[in-house]
Amino acid sequence: MNFVKRAWLSLVAKKGRTVLLAVITSAIMLFVLAGLLINNAADTAVKNAKANVGATLTLSANREAAFKKSQTSSSSSTKKTVKMSSVKLSDAKKIAKLNNVASYNVAATASVNASSFDAISTTSSSSQMGGGSSTATGDISISGVTDTASSTSFTDGTNKITKGRGITSADKNTNNVAIESELAKQENISVGDTITVKSTSGSKSYKLKVVGIYKTTSSTSTQMGPGTSDPGNTIYSSYTLANTIKGAKYANTADSVTFTVSAPSKISSVKSAGNKVINNSKYTLATNDSSYQTVKSAMSSVKSFSNKIVWLVSIAGTIILALIVILMVRERRHEIGILLSMGERRWKIVGQLFTEMVIILVVGLAVAGIGGKFVGDKLGSQLVSSQASTSAGTISAPGDKNVQMSGNPSGGGGSMSGGSKPSGGMSGSGSTSTSSDTDIDVNLSAIEMVELGGFGLAIMFLSVLIASGGILRLQPKKVLID
């Protein structure tokens, strides 16, 4: 009788032992597979982040250089004023032509006073009627964009168009605007209505046509005046309108310009090339691959932990199964002694034990294949949640510290090329926060099953190899006498 057939008959004859081994093997394979799935899912998440999350460069005024210039040009008796330079779109176009720049977005903001309506007030004081505010910054913030649908504050769910439509590139050089729902409700403004705002300096008024109403969940303070501290006082328009309100000298300029780099790995080379085509004494080019780095950091921790799971479970499983096989050998000394006395070769006896374990392994692989994805999903979610609790939950927008009262230093402005990924909305001197998606998608494929099978065979081989020492030392005559 060959050893393969003996292995099968032995498993059938000892059903209790076979079931116990199958349960233990299934548990080991289940956790090894979960570790492999999480590991591969983490790798995929990092690759997807590298391809899709992207990285940005923000061109804005060099505030540090401007501050130093004000110190040298001002006498000790006069009040120091920092004069910030607007970004010329012609300079932005030079950077946009560089290799690996996918698109770029312009941010332009302005401040006005409400004239035909009341701004939302966050204080107990009476509302500011008819543009009566005398603050230099005004009570309404105009956030100039090219396309609200591409603006981060809309894509991340902070803002959502509820009526009408958002601002698009077709609104360039128009007075079309989108207002916040609370402001619309307070002042009974509907889509299609015309509202009037007034310049904070002089008496010039602007009639704005409401083409959309959006709802915001943001509580970010813009700190541009008593009224504008409420996010409901932010009105979205084309960036050209914001520049018009600020004055003729701001034509073809921006508060900041955000460039989307095709891949995070290219951001350093793009920045280096960009610095060569701009006046570094006036502008600064800041990098922001925080989204990619956050995903990479989170997934590295998850991957490290999943590797530990795989190796710890594999080592523990090998030891446990080796002990079980050793006990099996001791229990079957008489059977092995008879086989040896009949002239059966020792390697065939070891092969019989290995075959038994491989048959049990097949059962374990089947169980792991059925339940591995479920365990991997649950374990992966716990790992990601644990990592998220110890990681920074927000990413500060680039350029926050470089642009004063730009309202939208990180983007969301006019896109000069199609398919851009602009960033957020009005944030004034506050920070724009972006949540990084660090979820992992655990999927079971044939590759994982092949890897699991390899781990399983290695575990079984080592277990039997460790236990086979007892078989190799057995003397059939002594066994039969005992």
Report phi then psi at 104, rounded to 5: -145, 155
Spacing of C-alpha 104 from chain mean position:
21
Q: Domain limits of the chain?
A: 3-48+295-391+440-481
Collapsing DSSP to helix, strand or coil, 472 comes out as: helix
Residue 161: what pLDDT?
94
CB 482 within 8 A of CB 330: no
pLDDT tens-place values along the chain, 482 residues long? 587 888 888 888 888 888 988 898 888 888 888 878 777 777 777 776 666 666 778 888 877 666 666 666 555 555 555 566 788 888 888 998 999 888 777 888 999 999 999 998 865 443 443 444 344 578 999 998 878 877 778 877 889 999 999 998 899 899 999 999 999 999 999 999 999 999 988 889 999 999 999 999 877 554 444 444 688 899 999 888 999 999 888 888 888 888 888 877 788 888 899 888 888 888 888 887 666 677 777 777 777 877 887 888 888 888 888 888 778 777 777 777 777 778 888 888 888 888 888 899 899 888 888 887 777 677 667 666 665 555 544 433 333 333 333 333 333 334 443 333 333 333 333 333 344 455 666 677 788 788 888 888 888 888 888 877 767 776 766 766 66
Tokens (6 digits) for 143: 């956030």
Specify the amino acid at residue 258. Answer: T
Q: How far apart are the C-alpha atoms of 426 and 256, rounded to whole Å?
A: 13
Collapsing DSSP to helix, strand or coil, 212 comes out as: strand
Collapsing DSSP to helix, strand or coil, 415 comes out as: strand
What predicted TM-score, i.e. pTM, was given to this entire model? 0.56
CB 26 within 8 A of CB 363: yes
Residue 8: what pLDDT?
86
Tokens (6 digits) for 255: 């508060």
Question: Which residues, 6+ apart, have CB-to-CB distance to 28 below 8 Å?
Answer: 313, 314, 316, 317, 320, 321, 364, 459
Neighbours of 327 (CB within 10 A): 12
CB 318 within 8 A of CB 462: yes
Tokens (6 digits) for 432: 């724009």
Buried b or exposed e, range 157-171, using 16+ CB within 10 angstroms: ebbebebbebbbeeb
Q: How far apart are the C-alpha atoms of 36 and 310, rounded to whole Å?
A: 7
Bridge-partner residues for 261, per DSSP? Answer: 55, 101
CB 321 within 8 A of CB 459: yes
User: Residues 367-388: pLDDT tens digits?
Assistant: 888 887 777 677 667 666 665 5
Residue 300: what pLDDT?
78
Residue 384: what pLDDT?
65
Question: Which residues, 6+ apart, have CB-to-CB distance to 330 below 8 Å?
Answer: 470
